[in-house]
Chains A and B, each alone.
Chain A
Amino acid sequence: MAVSLREYRARIKSTESMKKITRAMELIAASRIIKAQQRAKAAAPYARELTRAVSAVATFSNVDHPLTREEENPRKAAVLVITSDRGLAGAYSSSVIKEAERLTERLQAEGKELDFYLAGRKAEAYFKFRGRDYVQAWTGFSDQPDYEHAAEIGKALIDAFLKEQGEDGDVDEVHVVSTRFRSMLVQEPVAVRLLPLEVVEGEEAPEADELLPLYEFEPSAEAVLDGLLPQYVQSRIFYSLLQAAASELAARQKAMKAATDNASELIKKLTRVANQARQAGITQEISEIVGGVNALADAQAAND
């Protein structure tokens, strides 16, 4: 036996304490995920009402707003990448970053320059490590984002979008790469174009008696749209952040469950090897004793 019993015991012990940690993280993620889902649910009415209002305006006025206007010849695009602040969540952050790289390639093939906006420490670290430029990064809220964060990000993106072409920091398109929470088991990275907005008229096919009524706008349709659209953008970002938070926790729970299972497996294996080593030691001792006794007996027989 190359490794002594004592060393096996030490390894089993350290694996056991690791298992305790991963188990605790799994449970924490599991309890937080419910909260994250509730928050996403609580935010849904706002998004729904806002969408309703936007499509109402869009249906009854000729939408021509800077935020919906397509640049004729888009040259620059902004990409917002939403990742987590902390690791130990399996492939969560790296699959978002991979998706972002795919989008980057596609946009560059179309001849667009890119400005990156990052949310989450993982994305920031990824860019810093590779010495790549980014315009702005927001960190520290990935597992429970507030509306204020979304508003801040939204404001920065809208400002960049509204600049004239050629102005410093101007972008003609804004894309968001984040993770969509499908279920506890499936979260998928998605890339969507946020700006210019595509206003879908009557998103849910209205039923015959639910036709959108003829609205009066105060002060005017343009002013209402002016107020509505930035909020719509922010609410979309907020929704993405909430989905990303829920996905992060789900990914973490899954990763930690796998780690806990692996640790149990490892403990089982090590215990077997340690038992074997112990047994081998005992066998050796016995054979030594027996050998010793035999030798003594032989010596005595020779003397007689």
Chain B
Amino acid sequence: MADTATSTLHVELVAADRTVWSGEAAMIIARTHEGDIGVLRGHAPTLSLLSPSVVEIQVADTNQLVVAAVDGGFLSVANDRVSVLAERVEMAEDIEVSQAEVDLEEARRVLDSSNEAEQRVRHAEARIRAAEKVKKGI
């Protein structure tokens, strides 16, 4: 099967209510609970849990970089097909940094009181990082 496949990865970045991005990519970088993972063509089939973090997709045959923030979810790789699933996925271009900072502050304030707050802090941080990454790139 590998010899008939093209030399790219097919990536689907899917949120609960829509497909955020889908297309061919050269590489995808995400952060799992175990640490950062980079997926190239021919990667072994993997299913892993993601942390709230930034996902980077190097679009095939261009220098374009797609950056998005996820709030957890999964990464599944099989037969050069990668799907990233998360309840909430935001493209870096769509993230309002000021809003994310407000969320971060709020989440930090309640950090001691609930377990969920830690998730929220990480998610907010990931959104800010994603937005900043895109700005620097431009």
Contacts and interface: CB of A to CB of B under 8 A. Distances in A.
Interface of A: 39, 42-43, 45-46, 49-50, 52-53, 56-57, 146-147, 150-151, 209, 212-219, 223-224, 227-228, 231, 234-235, 238
Contact of B85 (A50, A216, A219): A50
A219 B14 contact: no
24 contacts: A42-B17, A43-B17, A45-B12, A46-B15, A46-B16, A46-B85, A53-B76, A56-B76, A57-B47, A146-B17, A151-B87, A213-B79, A214-B45, A215-B46, A216-B45, A218-B32, A218-B48, A219-B33, A223-B49, A224-B49, A227-B49, A227-B72, A234-B16, A234-B87
Contacts of A53: 47, 74, 76, 83, 85
B78 interface: yes
B76 A49 contact: yes
Contacts of B1: 209
Contact of A218 (B18, B47, B78): B47
B44 interface: yes
Interface string B28-50: 00001110010000001111110
B64 interface: no
Contacts of B99: none
Given A49-B85, A223-B49, A215 B78 contact: yes
A38 B67 CA distance: 26
Contacts of B48: 216-219, 224
